[in-house]
Amino acid sequence: MADGYDEPSLLETQPVGDRTEDQPDSRSPLEKGVEIELDWEALAVAFENQLPQSHSFLDLTSGTVTTISGSASIPEPPDPADNFLYIQPRPSREGYRTMQNFAETIEDAFLRERLTAALVGKGAFRRFKDQLLDFPRVRQEWFAHKDAEVYSYVRSWLENQGVKATNQPPPTTSKDKLPMPAARSSQRDFSATINLQDSGADFLQAIADYDRPGLIFRPRRTALLVIDMQKIFIDPQGDSFLPLSVEVGKRLAQVIESCRRAFVPVIYTRHVHHDPSRDGGAMSRWWRSLITEGSDGAEIVDQLKPLESETVITKCRYSAFTGTRLEMILRSYKIEDLIIGGVMTNLCCETTAREAFVRDFNIFFLGDGTAAANSELHMASLQNIAYGFGRVLATAEAVELLERSAE
């Protein structure tokens, strides 16, 4: 106060006789003063969510975000209502201002003019991002700039609401640490440099133009999908053995063990048909033979055997979602981020990733934890995923993040 005296605290103004050890504190979390560990990534997503029928609330007891979909008007918060704060999405004018501010930082006059022109009229957000496709390094700088602005906005909102975070938001990518993308080249020249039996560094060059290194999964909201690591593909004696899967199996084993230590759910899939004449469909028309239940190749390889407590999904289409209970399981675990590894990159893994994306899951695709029939098909899929569906990352990065959360 101006006279130098502090306001008495709430407890100091209460009569002593009104306080007993057994008397419950009926004040709401905000009245008590909230200090919690926040899920910053989920908060950022909620503030950027402009879908009219999607509404998010901050749980003041856990720091997590609960999203309710399907209502045009703001729904009632979960019970108890005093424990939840409604998250009003960041106004579109703020997003527009973020783009303006970034455009002003561009030294290249030609690109600055293109970005400024993209902001005129409807569809500015899409046009702005499209202009950056030919400038991969600047595009990565844009994502870092946007993330920093969003987190700054979230900080201000928290302060206004009287909520104090006990943890910091994840760091945005420094311009000085952004990887330089590989020079563009023809598919023939590029594929000639690929050696997937290496550490996997080549795939990082392939997706460098589209990578978003600032995106990381949240172990508390994450599940690992191990796609079709069956003997028919992984065992050298299998009818459809994939030579590139040998090293992939070793890397996936490390990811699986790290997930178990971090209490991240591991979900397996098996692709099998009980009666191809009935459940084969287009698969039976396209392929000469299908994997049948009970055959030697149908089982998951021994080195990646699921634990008894882990879920195994049986499917008969490329997508692990089609005709299965996978989505129900993920929703029941409150999963939002999916790590995907297995075989084949361009068939079951990519199809599952695409379908997960349109179901609003965040995709983290293991570039050196997936395998295809050849490196060209593998690389093409990784570029497709990185361009429009999810983050493609190395198994080593996934393991490091998981081990850090398990400490």
pLDDT along the chain (407 residues), means of 10: 44 44 54 81 84 85 86 87 90 88 89 86 77 80 88 92 90 44 33 36 81 87 97 91 91 96 96 91 88 92 95 97 96 96 97 97 96 92 95 94 84
In terms of domains, do 124 and 199 share one?
A: no
Residue with tokens 């390094």: 137
Can you give the pLDDT at residue 23?
55
Is 338 within a domain? yes
> Total structural domains in the chain?
2
In terms of domains, do 142 and 261 share one?
A: no
Can you give the pLDDT at residue 24?
55
In terms of domains, do 243 and 133 share one?
A: no
In terms of domains, do 192 and 274 share one?
A: yes
Which region holds residue 313: left if phi is over 0, alpha if psi is between -120 and 50, else beta? beta
Is 210 within a domain? yes
Can you give the pLDDT at residue 182?
36
Can you give the pLDDT at residue 30?
59
In terms of domains, do 164 and 197 share one?
A: no
Can you give the pLDDT at residue 27?
52
Q: CB 70: neighbour CB atoms within 10 A? A: 8
In terms of domains, do 161 and 214 share one?
A: no
Domain boundary among 170, 204, 237: 170
Neighbouring residues of 300: CB distance < 8 A, sequence distance ≥ 6: 229, 230, 231, 268, 270, 306, 312
Is 81 within a domain? yes
Cβ–Cβ under 8 Å, residues 190 and 380: no
Is 6 within a domain? no
Is 14 within a domain? no
Residue 335 has φ and ψ, to the nearest 5°, of: -80, 135
Is 2 within a domain? no
Domain boundary among 144, 170, 196: 170
Can you give the pLDDT at residue 172?
62
In terms of domains, do 213 and 302 share one?
A: yes
Cβ–Cβ under 8 Å, residues 203 and 388: no
CATH number where 323 lies = 3.40.50.850
Is 299 within a domain? yes
In terms of domains, do 194 and 339 share one?
A: yes
In terms of domains, do 345 and 245 share one?
A: yes
Tell me the residue range of the domain where 332 lies: 187-406
In terms of domains, do 52 and 88 share one?
A: yes
